[in-house]
Structure 1
Amino acid sequence: MCRLVGRETALKVLAEALEAGRGGAVVVGPMGSGKTVLSRAAAADPDFYAITIRGSHESGKTSFGALAWLISDLPEGLASRPAQLLQELERLLLERAEGKRILLLLDGADLLDGLTVMVVSQLVRRSVATVLATVENLHGSAPEFQALWTEGLLHRVDLAALELEQTRELMEVLLQGQVSSAAAHALQRHSGGNPHLITLLTREQAGEGALVEQDGVWVLAKPLVFSGQVAEVMTVRLKRRLPAERALIQLLALSGELPLNAVLQLVPAETVDTLEEERMAEVTAAGNISLGAETSSEAIAASIPPGRSRELWEEVSAILDPASLGPSALLGFARWTLACGGKLDPQTAQRAAALSTSSGNPDEALRYVLSIHREQRTEAMVLEEVRALSALGEYRSALDSVERLMEMDGSDHPDSWAKLLWYRVSLLRILGCGDPLEVLEQARSVILPQEADRKKRAALVQLVHGTLAIDTGCLADVPPGLGDIASDPALPAATRALAGALQAQFLALSGRADQAMELLDAVMGEMSGDFPLPMSEAISIRVFQALIAAGEYARASALTDQMSDGGSPFTFCGSSADVAAGMVHALSGKADKALRPLASAMGQLQLGDPSDTLPTVLSLAAYAQLLLEHPEEAARLSGNVADYRCQPPAQFELVAGLLRVQVVLAGNPQQLCGELRSMARSRLDRGLVAPALECLAAAARHGDAKAAIELAEAAAQASGRWARVLYCFGAGLDRSDSALLVEAAEEALQMGNVLLANTAARQALVHLTGRTGKAARVHARNALKVEHLSFRELRVSNTVEARMKTLTPFEAEIARRAAGPATRAEISKALNLSPRTIDWHLGKIFDKLHVSGRTELAEVLG
């Protein structure tokens, strides 16, 4: 049943189609998409008498080939009399069905011979049988079968490839454990979401050690292996193909993608048409051809002998100009060239290295760089070497390469010059050596007033300077011109967007969230452009940090969803999306929701942590465990937090420090609150207003009256929605003002901070206890609503679905009736109870489910 993951909707549609009284349904999808498993599940209804008729290439060559086993039970000689055969077959099926509905399972209906299709069609049209068929290519089936669909007798269900989270779910069913995002992405990329390939690959990778279990999470330990069962399956499938089809599939598997005009010089156009019709190959609008998404190119490539691979490469390279290839085609051709022992020219190697690092494969990028002799390596190639080394966490080697390049004549190209400057400054900061500010001053001094690119160069220096100041937490050093760069139409869109994101992060950190949010809206508009992946990542990281600093957790959570879907322009590489999701959920108080992505990141990072992210992740996980009231596990995780190997970005370090101190001092509230207030003063002195407010808010949540006063005073000097929330929270606590606390709770919930919303709402209810009057009743009602809403979001165990399981069967029945349109009197009559007894039970039910009344109960139960 595990292969039905992601097919729940299709199964429901099939069941409805079979019950509709029409001819039945046809399931369409490529090989391995789960058509047969799905149709068998739909046919499992005991009311059916199911007969399986399998189509194949062999049986399709013979009249009534697929029906031979049934016809053998009929009188001899009927094969030459189709009309009489149909009558006898109908009688036989009705007799064996014994009153049940006859269901014909046509497995591979597009491979059935014409006479078998004729018999099936007549049985359907005469309402003798219902059909549930599977086909890879509906238009390749017999005309009479197609007519059943076009005339509306068969309902068509197309099986799409599994999406990323469905792939992860299937892997988790197979492995019986959580799967990291990196592992799920790898299987999705190599299987195209094909369930059969996912199943084979998952089992093979676990057996080969590419997938290993790390602290309860299956993680990607090394590149995937394609030499086992998957390769054998592909070999068998290739042998069934015509020679020209087999050659084209091998070509595309080895190269990844090729220009169609080049392919047509090697294989006939009919071959391309055949594979395209079968969805084995796809032709893009740009005029390139590649294998279909649900075909594992790597597995096919692994099944091709080295000699055959070299032979095909020689044929292709003789007619191909690498300079004319697009990104995907070039990367595949470069990889294939090195595998065959061929040589790359420097430009091709540099382009391939850039593409490899962007796709999260810096090891491969270095192979391309090292394939070129050092004397032939261009400046652009050395920069790609630096980029790949940085992605691998080899910061010292990266800086050495930068320094060697700096000893040569400076670059005249603004983009290369900017990259060189950015790498040098950022590496000096990360390693904590040298003087990055001195490097920036030297860069400014070489910009000549008469240069045509002077403005662009000056803007790039400002960007690097701003990045340095923000990442070291020295907001006073942020250059004032970032905002001007963001709004200058003369500069490239990517430059403007990055400047805007940096300025928004600076404004949010310094307590001016309203201005930051206005700027971020413009940045997100710019991001709709086609930016290179490294630039998109750099911008999205800044946008995320700005949203966190501004307290906009709901927006930050939405951004992490975009970052983790694999196809968004905001996608982070590696485990970054897990870290981002874990951070926003932990900060907002959704502890168990935070732990899933954090566990994924921890398992993966323990095997390799090039970006030195593990200390931050462990701090987040420890805090989440503390919120879940697991102090021992929180202490264990916190005790495993090692010092950062290198200097992390200041904002992430500040967040980790705030969470870690709450874990370490959890048993001593007085010392904890004193430390939090001290941390807040230190951060305010550095202009880090938003991080300071977070420290004071944490202390106020822990009951520190002094922190509440300081929070209100500091928040009053800041701006934006979050500052207003924190002011209301602090002032409400200090003055016992329920109106301010309710305002804080309502706005915090809207912004996604369910922890602060719940705390503020509960405090408001405490202050409202015993109070009478209209205003008090309104505040109490609003506070209770927020408390209930936020409570249900804090933990999975708090959801109505989970808490419904705590009800007795009788209470659950009352709850379901109360959530419907029935009146109190009608419920009483139906259950033979007095209205007062019903009210008593409902009161208990409302308390257990954490709802305010029947209206809210109806909303949460749907």
Structure 2
Amino acid sequence: MGTLRVVWPFVGRARELEDVMSALTGPNGKGAALVGPAGVGKTRLADEVVARLEKTGFTVRRCYATVATSSIPFGALAAMLPADMRTANPLGRAVEHLLAEPQPLAIVVDDAHLLDDASIGMLHHVIRQELARVLVTSRPGERTELWQEGLLRRYALGVLSRAESDELLERALDGPVDSRSSTLLWSGSAGNPLYLRELVVSGRALGSLRAINGIWSWHGAIELGGRLGELVQENLGRLEPSHRLALELLAYSEPVELDLLASLVREEALDDLETRALIQVESSGRRTVVRLGHPLYGSLLRATCPALRAQAHQRALAAGLEATGARRREDLMRIATWRLDGGSPISLDLLAAAAEQAWAARDVTLAERLCRAAVDAGGLERVGHVFGEVLMYGRAPHEAEATLADVMSGALSAADLSRLGATRSLNLYFGLGDADAAAAVLDSVDVPGLPADLRDWLWVVRILQAAERGPVAPVLESSYRQMAPHLSIFLRRIRATCFLNAGRYREVDEEIDACEAEAAALALDDEPSAWPNSSTPRMRCFALAFSGRLSEAESLALKMDDTSFDELDITGTTSLYSLLSFCARMRGHGSHALRLAREACPRTADNHLIFDTIGLASLAASAALCGDTGLAADALARAEQARRPAWRLTGTTVSLARSWVVAAAGDVRAAADAAMAAADECAELGMHSCEAMALHDAARFGVDTSLRLAALTSTMDDAMTSAYAAHATALAHASPTVLEATATDFLRLGATLYAAEALASAARLHRTQGNVRAASQASARQALLMRDFDGVRTPALRVDGLTHLTRRQVEVARLATSGLTNQQIAEKLHTSKRTVDNHLHAIYGVLGVTGRDELRTVLGPP
């Protein structure tokens, strides 16, 4: 990876840059004021403006106001004024000196809110007399004369958006940043570019921010130190004792109810802090809550708060919340946490209840901490069922097994044993891949006399494991059983998964709709855990993608990624990023697919869980598509190591990836054999969705799979499987015109890679059959499709002799088909009409067409 640049990239202020340049160089412009809080990039934008001004011929004089110069007449401007300033008429002498400067002249002043009165007066005169163009940066609310009087055009600068922050981060690091880390840095900086820069600098210096497998990742908590700590302390300023008390209480509780905080500090202090923007008061549902003005304030306050005082704060918060009755669901978690951190006594009942609430809220870290505290207090039996599930999610399936076995060895009722046994069986199956042990545990706790709900829950666990063993059809039949509504939802989820695997995508949607309707009717706040059930929205994403609705799948997946998952939701993270990587591969975006696949992979080589096989297989396939044979082979080997015999259906993703890893190494015949083996494996399990993909891959590697794919279309009526079958049939019959029609079908679905491959095959066949014009036309369409491809390599695209248009010819051709005249094209491309005429003449010759109508027919709609 590249080294961190001294000057960070300029990101996210393009519109402001153009507006400020217009205010400085336009015919009626006098200057501009960049106004915003510290760290939002005022000086960085001024740097860009200065660079542009100098390129346009301006003489730029830049000065910096400081606290030290604020009481000295002309103190900040001294560097640009004459040494022999006359005391009788200093302003006149200063203006006289400026007029001697090379023209045009621009004066740039940083931190103008610290200017002395004499300097302000001089700038007034310069601006009014139009002796120079003036640009200043300033904090809001201070020394506003320059823009409030209409002398300068004011531009308010706020924080960067999330997208702008991510772009700045990745450009500064010269590489991609994983989503968890970019979210952490976005939250820590709150869009403030200066804070982001210092976080990156300190993170790299401390080793918290480092690149692994080409992806930058943050490790551990954010720690304030060095320049970053100084900046945050500077923004906090000098604090009165009452103000510090309020901020420290917030640092250990935010967001916290205004009523609770007001019961512990003076209201006047809160008013002052809100006025200074050190706290934010906002509505949250029916409550009014208070937050710190910036996330890093909390980090600094916690780091500098003495230990005994911190404990006292947390005891006070716990007592204050208890005094209100602790009516909200999350209140027990907060009280338990504050009591633990405050060193005050805490009952086992409170720990157990808080642990259950933390787990229901999927706060894995807090749930584990509360469980361990309960175990230390001798309450293993009270929290054993929660602790086991927490350890599964925390990548500690062996510890989960030991813990659950320990709990179950005690004197427990049959009902308690059955609950714990269900959890233990899930861990044994999906965490450790031990199907026999998982079944034995279920058999041991499935005894006569259990309540109906528990009997049904054990049945759900059996069906869930059977759905992973396969085949699909028997599981579908077994899953139709009457049981309590809250458990029936789990059976619907299992059926939806089976329909997805069977390629019955309409029934997936129907089952998910029914599942979500039942859950809404029950108003379930939490459910018995059925780890690792995929949530219904994730299954809907896969059904959309597999059936050829790529854009809808990507849109839903990105929406879920923004709102649903934390860093420990391994099933969600792996599934979503694997799906997005799959879609990117279909579109020919190889590098993007590889990046997404890296996100889906486990960050550790230890304790691989079932979904790790999906992430590693996705990485292997994406690396192979990009031609990175080393990474592809390594990822495939790790996927094979992670795979367990019990995980038969999930393991097919490894088999599907294997053929592409072999193909990337150059052995297309062996790749075809691997694809056919994967297709047979999927067929045996009734996984027709993956069988269709494998058969299509085999066809792309040269095997005639047209009859098997055509047979699948009788039960799979989705557009993508039909396109697979048409592609395989056209290849088998060596029909270039059908291949071109298939390309159109793939393009309509968004599968641009397959469309380009079909056109490549059509061009080759046309050329073999002596139809040079048709070959050139197909080849040109292929070139247009591939203009946005990124690092993609497949056997079908590695053919020599294709006739391609140049990149500029592609641009001209596309603009011509959009209806623009040659003159309009020339203006858009900043070239001459004659050059456009020559390009179009060359394009017509390559494609064998005589005009725009034929060009539009050949290339399709723009």
TM score, norm. by length of structure 1? 0.78
Q: 1 CA distance for matches of 2:321 and 2:151?
A: 48
Q: Which residue of 2 aligns with 1:597?
A: 596
Aligned pairs (5 A) from 1:100-139:
100-107=104-111, 109=113, 120=123, 124=127, 127-128=130-131, 130-136=133-139, 138=140
Q: Which residue of 2 aligns with 1:33?
A: 40
1:722 aligns with 2:725: no
Counterpart of 2:252 in 1: which secondary structure? helix
Which amino acid in structure 2 is aligned with residue 88 of structure 1?
G
1:389 aligns with 2:406: no
1:698 aligns with 2:697: yes
Unaligned runs of 5+ in 2: 1-6, 794-803
Distance 1:840 1:661, change over 3 A: closer
Q: 1 CA distance for matches of 2:451 and 2:608?
A: 38
Q: How far apart are residue 156 of structure 1 and its match?
A: 2.5
Counterpart of 1:722 in 2: which secondary structure? helix
Distance 1:444 1:181, change over 3 A: farther
Q: In the alignment, is the contact (CA less than 8 A) between 1:749 and 1:786 conserved in 2? A: no
Distance 1:272 1:107, change over 3 A: same
> Which moves more between the two structures, 716-725 or 265-274?
265-274
Q: Which residue of 1 aligns with 2:473?
A: 476
Which amino acid in structure 2 is aligned with residue 748 of structure 1?
F
Which amino acid in structure 1 is aligned with residue 38 of structure 2?
M
Distance 1:482 1:764, change over 3 A: farther
Q: Which residue of 2 aligns with 1:180?
A: 178
Which amino acid in structure 2 is aligned with residue 95 of structure 1?
L
Q: In the alignment, is the contact (CA less than 8 A) between 1:104 and 1:129 conserved in 2? A: no
Q: How far apart are residue 702 of structure 1 and its match?
A: 0.9
Q: 1 CA distance for matches of 2:394 and 2:730?
A: 49
Which amino acid in structure 1 is aligned with residue 675 of structure 2?
L
Q: 2 CA distance for matches of 1:218 and 1:770?
A: 48
Q: How far apart are residue 437 of structure 1 and its match?
A: 9.3
Percent identical residues: 20
Q: Which residue of 2 aligns with 1:839?
A: 841
Distance 1:837 1:594, change over 3 A: closer
Q: 2 CA distance for matches of 1:319 and 1:834?
A: 76
Out of 744, 747, 771, the residue aligned to residue 745 of structure 2 is: 747
Q: 1 CA distance for matches of 2:649 and 2:788?
A: 26
1:516 aligns with 2:508: yes
Counterpart of 2:314 in 1: which secondary structure? helix
Aligned pairs (5 A) from 1:256-267:
256-267=254-265
Q: 1 CA distance for matches of 2:355 and 2:419?
A: 19
Aligned pairs (5 A) from 1:498-509:
502-509=494-501
Counterpart of 2:296 in 1: which secondary structure? coil
Q: How far apart are residue 89 of structure 1 and its match?
A: 7.5
1:301 aligns with 2:302: yes
Q: Which residue of 2 aligns with 1:81?
A: none
Counterpart of 1:283 in 2: which secondary structure? strand
Aligned pairs (5 A) from 1:396-475:
396-403=398-405, 421=422, 424-425=425-426, 427-431=428-432, 432=434, 433-436=436-439, 439=442, 464=461, 467-475=464-472
Which amino acid in structure 2 is aligned with residue 399 of structure 1?
E
Counterpart of 1:434 in 2: which secondary structure? helix
Q: 2 CA distance for matches of 1:760 and 1:563?
A: 33
Q: How far apart are residue 224 of structure 1 and its match?
A: 3.8
Q: How far apart are residue 699 of structure 1 and its match?
A: 0.9
Distance 1:239 1:312, change over 3 A: farther
1:561 aligns with 2:558: yes
Q: In the alignment, is the contact (CA less than 8 A) between 2:391 and 2:397 conserved in 1? A: yes
> Which moves more between the two structures, 244-253 or 357-366?
357-366
Which amino acid in structure 1 is aligned with residue 654 of structure 2?
A
Q: In the alignment, is the contact (CA less than 8 A) between 2:318 and 2:334 conserved in 1? A: no
What per-residue deviation string (whole Å, max 9, x for no partner) do you get for residues 74-112 of structure 1? 86667xxxxx87x63872574254432443435153x56
Out of 787, 796, 812, the residue aligned to residue 792 of structure 1 is: 787
Counterpart of 1:372 in 2: which secondary structure? helix
Counterpart of 2:204 in 1: which secondary structure? helix
Q: In the alignment, is the contact (CA less than 8 A) between 2:496 and 2:508 conserved in 1? A: yes
Q: 2 CA distance for matches of 1:655 and 1:41?
A: 49
Q: 1 CA distance for matches of 2:397 and 2:669?
A: 41
What per-residue deviation string (whole Å, max 9, x for no partner) do you get for residues 446-494 of structure 1? 6757xxxx6xx78866765554343333323435597999xx9x957xx
Distance 1:291 1:153, change over 3 A: same
Q: Which residue of 1 aligns with 2:626?
A: 628
Counterpart of 2:642 in 1: which secondary structure? coil
Unaligned runs of 5+ in 1: 79-83, 799-805
Counterpart of 1:251 in 2: which secondary structure? helix
Q: 1 CA distance for matches of 2:535 and 2:130?
A: 63
Q: In the alignment, is the contact (CA less than 8 A) between 2:12 and 2:164 conserved in 1? A: yes
Out of 245, 251, 254, the residue aligned to residue 252 of structure 2 is: 254
Which amino acid in structure 1 is aligned with residue 504 of structure 2?
R
Counterpart of 1:284 in 2: which secondary structure? strand
Q: 2 CA distance for matches of 1:714 and 1:740?
A: 20
Counterpart of 1:717 in 2: which secondary structure? coil
Q: How far apart are residue 679 of structure 1 and its match?
A: 3.5
Q: How far apart are residue 549 of structure 1 and its match?
A: 4.4
1:539 aligns with 2:546: no
TM score, norm. by length of structure 2? 0.78
Q: How far apart are residue 301 of structure 1 and its match?
A: 1.9
1:99 aligns with 2:103: yes
Q: Which residue of 2 aligns with 1:660?
A: 658
What per-residue deviation string (whole Å, max 9, x for no partner) do you get for residues 586-606 of structure 1? 46553222122334555x624
Q: Which residue of 2 aligns with 1:14?
A: 20
Which amino acid in structure 2 is aligned with residue 507 of structure 1?
F
Q: 2 CA distance for matches of 1:572 and 1:520?
A: 25
Distance 1:268 1:630, change over 3 A: closer
Q: Which residue of 2 aligns with 1:803?
A: none
Q: 2 CA distance for matches of 1:811 and 1:194?
A: 43
Q: How far apart are residue 817 of structure 1 and its match?
A: 9.3
Counterpart of 1:4 in 2: which secondary structure? coil
> Which moves more between the two structures, 231-240 or 588-597?
231-240
Distance 1:841 1:484, change over 3 A: same
Q: In the alignment, is the contact (CA less than 8 A) between 1:745 and 1:783 conserved in 2? A: no
Q: How far apart are residue 71 of structure 1 and its match?
A: 8.8
Q: 1 CA distance for matches of 2:784 and 2:455?
A: 50
Q: In the alignment, is the contact (CA less than 8 A) between 2:310 and 2:342 conserved in 1? A: yes
Distance 1:521 1:692, change over 3 A: same
Q: Which residue of 2 aligns with 1:319?
A: 320
Q: 2 CA distance for matches of 1:325 and 1:579?
A: 41
What per-residue deviation string (whole Å, max 9, x for no partner) do you get for residues 664-704 of structure 1? 47655445434433432342232211111112111111111
Distance 1:810 1:211, change over 3 A: closer
Which amino acid in structure 1 is aligned with residue 554 of structure 2?
S
Out of 192, 211, 214, the residue aligned to residue 213 of structure 1 is: 211
Q: How far apart are residue 119 of structure 1 and its match?
A: 6.1
Distance 1:468 1:56, change over 3 A: farther
Q: In the alignment, is the contact (CA less than 8 A) between 1:53 and 1:106 conserved in 2? A: yes
Out of 193, 196, 201, the residue aligned to residue 195 of structure 1 is: 193
Q: 2 CA distance for matches of 1:409 and 1:782?
A: 76
Q: In the alignment, is the contact (CA less than 8 A) between 1:245 and 1:271 conserved in 2? A: yes
Aligned pairs (5 A) from 1:739-778:
740-766=738-764
Q: In the alignment, is the contact (CA less than 8 A) between 1:106 and 1:131 conserved in 2? A: no
Q: In the alignment, is the contact (CA less than 8 A) between 2:826 and 2:836 conserved in 1? A: no
> Which moves more between the two structures, 223-232 or 347-356?
347-356
